[in-house]
Amino acid sequence: MSHVVIVGTGIIGLSTARALLSDGHVVTLVDRNPAGDKASFGNAGGLGVTEIVPASVPGLIWKIPGWLIDPLGPLSLRPGHFPKLVPWLLRFMKSGSRQEMLRITSALAALTAPVYDDFLPMLDELGMSHELHRVGALWVYETEAGFAADATDRALRRSHGGIFEEMDGDEARRLEPALGKNVVRAALTPQWSHFSDPKRVMDRLREQVASRGGKIVQGEAVAIAGTAVELSDGTKLPFERMVIAAGAWSARLAATIGDRVMVESERGYNITIPDSGVCLTREVIFAERKFVATPMDIGLRIGGAAEFAGLDAPANYARSDALAALAHLYLPGLKTEGGTRWMGHRPTTPDSLPVIGPSSNRPDVIHAHGHSHIGLTLGPTTGRLVADLIAGRTTAIDLAPFSASRFS
């Protein structure tokens, strides 16, 4: 068995470490802040198994200008970052054709199909099965037009096994009495589930990896130099195989071996309110406004929004406050005081497909990043696939659509 160095201790890196340790490999993980604030546990906490339709779809481009000028809109772009984002945006628009949408949806459907087969055994192993609530998610709409506009989207998800139980606003309020009268239509997706607190799962998984012999090193990986990962302090970690699972920072590291991967930071915001004054039983997705509310042990988490500002710009927590203001429109009893605001870097590709597979230039280096909004969902599945690649086993899923070479 080989010595594998994994850069990144988010859900992808830790799940990969768990799978590799089970295969008997020696594993070292490195991260600038191994237990620190990550998208892996600052997310909305849902297993979005029906999230298979890409972000770029036919007609989306005409909505973007309105979103950008709306202070409560789901999208913002800092002007200073725009020049760096242009190549990513061009590829994003190219991915929005109907043919590409259908191809990408099929690839994501194959990748998400075994999510519960991979996740449930891990939770049982961690003693955390009770942390996952398999009660579905409720998509709500404030206009009949918005509900009708999403009919094609629902049909596409249904064609790949998704279940959507459509209902009117009164039926939605019987499921979730906290919803206001402005909700006129809804759809229940029973296949979804959510965690009581994704951070607890991450902490326990990290502890398990360490207890099984995984070595966790604090440091910033800045380059792959020969057969070693070079850290910012000059330390070099030698490897026989190496996995890039550094989330939104993965493109920087991949570039040091000549791999061009188009992974951008799609910065997400949330606010978690301990005493929210409302009670929800499941994750609620506000479909027209592109944000969600999830009941957790630590409070009601309201999250969403997409901001493109790069990796280094300071957070704009007004985005978190805007989400709370939006949620109040749907949840009239919501108390917005006393919330904890958060921003995290979602690693997002222009075609919504993660990057999973060998480097184009270095067969001893494996990519495992770019999971966008479904990193938590796909953690154990990606870990299993990477372990199969390193072991030389045939993967159960065709990984060609996820190859890093598609950006060459």
pLDDT in tens, 333-345: 999 999 999 999 9
pLDDT at 37 over 90: no
Contacts of 72 (CB under 8 A, 6+ apart): 289, 322, 325, 326
Tokens of 340: 């904890």
Strands 236-238 and 3-7: unpaired
pTM of the prediction?
0.96
State residue 22's pLDDT score: 98
Q: Which of 353, 365, 359, 389 is nearest to 106 (CA)?
A: 353
CA–CA gap between residue 218 and residue 81 (Å, rounded) = 29
Q: What percent of the chain has pLDDT over 90?
A: 90
Residue 89, SS3 per DSSP: helix
Tokens of 378: 């796909």
Strands 236-238 and 241-244: unpaired
Strands 75-77 and 299-308: parallel
pLDDT at 72 over 70: no
Q: Tell me which of 83-92, 151-160, 292-301, 348-357 is least confident.
A: 83-92
State residue 15's pLDDT score: 98
Give residue 305's pLDDT band: very low, low, confident or very high (50, 70, 90): confident
CA–CA gap between residue 265 and residue 308 (Å, rounded) = 7
State residue 221's pLDDT score: 98
Tokens of 84: 């760096």
From the candidate CATH numbers 1.10.3720.10, 3.40.50.720, 3.30.9.10, 3.90.1150.10, the one assigned to the domain spanning 53-195+263-348: 3.30.9.10
Contacts for 162-165 with beta carbons within 8 Å, 24 or more apart? 162/50, 162/52, 162/189, 162/191, 163/50, 163/189, 163/190, 163/191, 164/139, 164/188, 164/189, 165/189, 165/190
State residue 130's pLDDT score: 97
State residue 3's pLDDT score: 98
Q: Which of 374, 397, 399, 383 is nearest to 52 (CA)?
A: 374
Give residue 41's pLDDT band: very low, low, confident or very high (50, 70, 90): confident
State residue 145's pLDDT score: 97
**pLDDT tens for each residue of 113-144:** 999 999 999 999 999 999 999 999 999 999 99
State residue 134's pLDDT score: 98
State residue 213's pLDDT score: 98
The CATH fold assigned to 3-41+199-262+352-407 is FAD/NAD(P)-binding domain (3.50.50)
**pLDDT tens for each residue of 380-403:** 999 999 999 999 999 999 999 999
CA–CA gap between residue 33 and residue 395 (Å, rounded) = 31
Bridge partners for 195 per DSSP: 132
**pLDDT tens for each residue of 205-250:** 999 999 999 999 999 999 999 999 999 999 999 999 999 999 999 9
pLDDT at 379 over 80: yes
Domain spans of the chain, in order of start = 3-41+199-262+352-407, 53-195+263-348
Q: What percent of the chain has pLDDT over 70?
A: 99
320-328 mean pLDDT: 94
132-158 mean pLDDT: 97
Give residue 327's pLDDT band: very low, low, confident or very high (50, 70, 90): very high
